[in-house]
Structure 1
């Protein structure tokens, strides 16, 4: 049964909200829970100015935006290039960034809360003018149980040898719980991981009569 205290934009479930807001920041806004403080600018005008002004509304963490929780964000993870930071011209180089769900406690408007950041999309910058956005942080060839130089969702093939600085921007959706259930935080938080240098080399192949094990002094050995 859905948590009655958890409200997501457009009557989405949490899973729907995380999936749909990965590429559409317009749907990342928070919905005010019943009884919560009104959004700024939506308060009704005072009809009887002679009466005492109502007491200020208590701080409401459900009105928080991504800027209010940015201080709780995780440290940007490092992007790794396979195999071992070296690639081959014309063959896939695999990239993986270790971004995971991050939960931390703190205060929003002086109210204790638990904040949860979930990575929802990744923008890989391969350093040669090519960028790719994906919902996957990448998976190592070993974990995929595939041979090296297999194309993956986050791999890239370079056309020229050289050294390239590769980075990734991670987009996080945020939620908070002030004791009454999780609610979404308006907006997406973008964190840029430190770049890593990948060296791309040109490899020439030739048919030889014997392997290097058989003839250590042979061509290319």
Structure 2
């Protein structure tokens, strides 16, 4: 008899999607984000039962981590990442202030329904709240101007231009999709986990104030220079 081929890790995701397709589509459409049983219906580690044993209809069902929802794995969530405003927490009225969130994929060991699992959280969406009432949702955590090889005050996918001087508390909500592996391959967890970053204070000045506080000769990289 030929050996049983290993399970296709992509077949675990709903609708025959690959993992990348599931992250791109189902994270924003809960109709296709439901959990599924691993291919082949193999018992999960610790839940096997011998075929010769009769089934007691009154006995509780074996724990099945594939039925877990995002609430069942919330305790394994990453710590809220920081948000940074460029340049150096200071911006100029009418010019883009760039924001970057330090969210990354997070993998942790734990248990779902007493079954040992590996849980993986992947950030899929970012809702930036700029502190002046403006909100923007993106699929990017943002990139620094240095990483973009762009000069200061270049507009980016996560930047925001403030209309008046003042201090603003900016923050972001990160939405994470979750998956788990109980030994038979990854399977998706229904729902999204939302985590809020700590807020950061952004001080917005007009050009005249920026230049008076510190000249461009003194600080060539400062706001307005």
TM-score using structure 2 length: 0.80
**Which residue in the other structure is 1:197 paired with?**
201
The counterpart of 1:148, out of the listed 152, 167, 177, is 152
CA distance in 2 between partners of 1:28 and 1:166 (Å):
30
Q: 1:82 to 1:56 in 2, by over 3 A?
A: same
Q: State whether structure 2 residue 80 is matched by structure 1 residue 76.
A: yes
Deviation at 1:24, TM superposition (A): 2.4
| CA-CA distance at 1:81 after TM superposition | 0.1
Q: Any idea what SS the aligned residue of 2:28 has?
A: coil
Q: Counterparts of 1:2 and 1:14 in 2: how far apart (Å)?
A: 17
Q: Which residue of 1 aligns with 2:114?
A: 110
Write out per-residue CA displacement over residues 73-104 of structure 1, whole angstroms, 9 at most, x where no aligned residue.
Answer: 00000100000000000000000000000000
Contact preservation (8 Å) 1:117, 1:172: yes
State the partner residue of 1:87. Answer: 91
For 2:26 and 2:64, how far apart are their aligned partners in 1?
23
Contact 1:36 1:60 survives alignment (8 Å) = no
Determine if the alignment matches structure 1 residue 64 to structure 2 residue 68: yes
Please say if 1:30 is aligned against 2:39. Answer: no
User: How do 1:114-133 and structure 2 match up within 5 A?
Assistant: 114-133=118-137
**CA-atom RMSD in angstroms:** 2.3
Q: Report the Cα distance in structure 1 between the residues aligned to 2:12 and 2:30, rounded to whole angstroms.
A: 17
Contact in 1 for aligned 2:7/2:184 (Cα 8 Å): no
Equivalent residue number for residue 16 of structure 1: 21
Which structure 1 segments of 5+ residues have no match? 38-50, 206-210, 214-221
Q: Is the 8 A contact 2:85 2:99 kept in 1?
A: yes
Q: Determine whether 1:186 maps to 2:179.
A: no
**TM-score normalized by structure 1?**
0.82
Q: Does 1:167 align with 2:171?
A: yes
Unaligned runs of 5+ in 2: 44-54, 210-214, 218-225
Shift, 1:12, TM fit: 1.1
Q: What residue is the counterpart of 1:4 in the other structure?
A: 8
Q: Report the alpha carbon displacement of residue 54 of structure 1 after superposing the two structures with TM.
A: 5.5
> How far 1:3 sits from its partner (Å)?
4.4
Cα contact 1:36–1:62 (8 A) shared by 2 = no
More helix per residue: 2
- Secondary structure in 1 matching 2:72: helix
Aligned partners of 1:173 and 1:189 also within 8 Å: yes
What is the rounded CA distance, in whole Å, between the counterparts of 2:119 and 2:26 in structure 1?
18
8 Å CA contact retained: 2:129, 2:135: yes
Residue 187 of structure 1 and its aligned partner are, at CA, apart by 0.5
